[in-house]
Structure 1
């Protein structure tokens, strides 16, 4: 047992830390909430009589805002527009957010948690809000397909890396 005021090492790696210091990496959702929800049914009640299959356009965007050293707000924006031949059936805009706590992570881990893991955790709840909003607008519930946020994140990282290599690696012309 360590004496009061003594110094212990961090996981046997030799780095001295004060007794009781929390040095292990940690990340998780603190809270989640609907920040903004807009439901439009511009052609009601006529749209309930349309028989042609609608075209559903779904757009996603992930935003992040640092609130303090250890807490960020992750915003999953989802915009859905349902159009039929006769016009727009419904428009749903959702900003679903989560407060995320991250401690003792390096920059790459924080970035990956912010733009891949946190949206993956938040999405099922946003999906339910969308389904309920479409149903409450008078249409059959819309169940969005699962999204591979980690796969999308890795694709974007690879594309950015390829862009950086192309921009800095090869000369622009022949000399």
Structure 2
């Protein structure tokens, strides 16, 4: 084993110094704020039948806290319906507390409403899969969500409302 010299005049930098200027997102806490699963026609609806139609809703909200951290909520709702009526309805409001560093104020909204929900989504997806399975159905696995697309659609809708 040999020691190497970085060379005269080489900058000395600690790992913390390099990261101080870089953007960073840290999840401090995750939690279920609200969870609802309705199985209105059980056990008849558990017998199978034609494939249900799924209606999916996605909402994201964020707010700053007095302690300098940010709370982000991801609301997912899914309703499975067959021709003869509803199969199940699940609604989940899943939250997280985030520490965000190195992000300019004008870039904070997209970080909170695109990047933070991306961190929360896999956990929320698992909860919905588990609760639908516990309700007697095959696990309902949500497809990945394009949070940037949802954010862009929301901004476009806000602009249309503002111009109307």
Coarse TM-score class (shorter-chain normalised): 0.7 to 0.9
Whether contact under 8 Å (1:30, 1:99) holds in the other structure is: yes
Q: What is the count of residue pairs matched by the alignment?
A: 146
TM-score by length of structure 1 reads 0.73
Partners of 2:85 and 2:157 in 1: CA distance: 38
Alpha-carbon deviations, 1:60-87, whole Å to 9, x = none? Answer: 0001122225211100001111111121
1:63 corresponding residue in structure 2: 61
User: What is the distance in 2 between the residues matched to 1:69 and 1:109?
Assistant: 20
Instruction: Give the Å deviation of 1:162.
Output: 7.1
Q: Determine the structure 2 residue equivalent to 1:44.
A: 42
* Paired residue secondary structure (1:114): helix
After TM superposition, the score normalised by the length of structure 2 is: 0.77
Mapped partners of 1:101, 1:30: distance in 2: 7
CA shift, 1:153, in A, is 3.0
SS in 1 for 2:142: coil
Q: Please show how residues 95-174 of structure 1 align to structure 2 within 5 Å.
A: 95-154=93-152, 156-157=154-155, 159=156, 167=163
Whole-Å separation in 1 of the counterparts to 2:120 and 2:57: 16
Contact kept, 8 Å, 1:63 with 1:76, in 2: the verdict is: yes
Match of 1:5 in 2: none
* Higher alpha-carbon Rg: 1
Query: How far does the alpha carbon of each residue in 1:116-140 deviate from its partner, in whole angstroms, 9 at most, with x for none?
Result: 1001111111111110011010000
- What's the counterpart of residue 74 of structure 1? 72
CA change 1:29–1:162 in 2 (3 A) is same
